[in-house]
Amino acid sequence: MADLENNSLKTQLAILGGGPAGYVAAIRAAQLGADVVLIEEKELGGVCLNVGCIPTKALLKTSDTNTVIKKSKEFGIESSIENINWKTAMDRKNRIIKNLNAGLEQLIKARGITVIKGRGKVRSDRKIIVQTADGTINVICEKMILTTGSSPLLPNVKGIDSDGVMTSNDALNMDFLPEHMVIIGAGVIGLEFATMFGLMGVKITVIELADKILPEIDSEIAAELQKIIKRQGISIKLSAEVTNIEKAEDGLAVTYSQGESAYTLNCEKVLVAVGRKLNSAAIQDLPLQFDKGAIIVKDTMETNIDGVFAAGDITGGKLLAHLAFMEGKVAAENALGINSRINKNAIPACIYTHPEIASVGITEDEAAAAGISIKLGRFNFRNNGRAQTLGEREGMVKIIADESNTIIGAHILGANASEMISELTLAITLKATANDLANIIHPHPTLNEAIWEACGDLMGSAIHKL
């Protein structure tokens, strides 16, 4: 553990940012015997643990429970919902965050990692100045890893700073459920919140500038999800641009254009979910190479400056916590002399709508754009016995393989998709063929049998498909 002397701290490795990339890098480096200083202004765990992945999933469980109760008659149980106590749901969410924070702090402490709570600013490739509550600390390091993350992006819209306009951070701390919410953006964040609040009885209108939802997701899967969430009562306005937000008698008035026409919606809350901006303010003194705001890194996660590595959202690409975990691990290992890489062909992504989407590898559109000749296999959950018993019949598994039947992409829309995608991530990592998975014995009845059947469909051997 590093010792403070004359407001200076010398260490082998300094890490700026305690989110998923940063804390994983710190723990991995400590495992390898390094002396590590971890600098974080806010809470350890970053966006994911405190205002992202974990709190949203806690509240999604509340909305899922609400949905199960509403459809319980289908399962022979007569029940009704007397009241939704949103404060109780929020308290539960906060307890989960607190417990995970405590566990993470214990992990960091047990590894002998020095944590400095304060705002860090990089002055050179070997020096970070940290402003803490008690003064300034100069961290002198042999090597450093930059993991400064990202923040919600606010578009240039008149009235965007009005009371009642929220980012995803704000939405996770609402003290009541509004009657009507407008969500700007039909990407991952916007649609997760749309289904979460929509299933809680909030009237939801989603306004999206593009002509389709989830532009980075396989088009067939995204189109199917759009049909499903429309049946859930969520209104989606595509090719629409918000032009003004202003105070109204009962909340906010949102004006948007669609084609040549303009429309105005009245609502209580507006959630802005148009994307995220990368946090680079603290690293501007370094002559780093950037591309569209993201630090350019080698496959070792090292930047153009020797001994300076970067990981997580600040390096751009897919802003995923689990990718940040691995990037932090790889950065730490390479910083300490271990040759380590990431398989960028097998990065799973999950969207926690209802039902969920999970994907790995390329989409059908990407294959077409790259001129790759592909084979497709599909299997609908309505033909899966386990899905029928669960009352979760919507969605499908879609497998994409090349001409040699090697799986290069996989997409799932359905219940527990996020728990199923790892089989297909492993398949792509190991360069397995659809025939390999079609010949693996899957337990029955399970949702995973849909993967077996989709691979069988690609090979012409699906059993439960006409």
Strands laid side by side in the 251-258 sheet: 240-248, 251-258, 261-267
The encoded tokens of residue 264 equal 């105005």
- Interhelix angle 188-198/219-231, rounded to 10 degrees, is 20
Return the beta strands (E) in 125-233 as ranges: 127-132, 135-146, 150-152, 165-166, 180-184, 203-207
Given the residues 180, 322, 411, 444, select the one marked as catalytic: 444
Number of Cβ within a 10 Å radius of residue 374 = 18
Number of Cβ within a 10 Å radius of residue 58 = 18
Alpha helical stretches, state H, 71-186: 86-110, 168-171
444 as an active site residue: the answer is yes
CA angle at residue 99 from 95 to 105, to 5 degrees? 140
Yes or no: say if 223 and 212 are a contact pair by the CB < 8 Å rule. Answer: yes
Please report, in angstroms and rounded to a whole number, the separation of the first and last CA atoms in the chain: 64
Q: Report how far residue 382's alpha carbon sits from residue 380's, in angstroms, rounded to the nearest whole number.
A: 5
Question: Which residues participate in catalysis according to the annotation?
Answer: 444
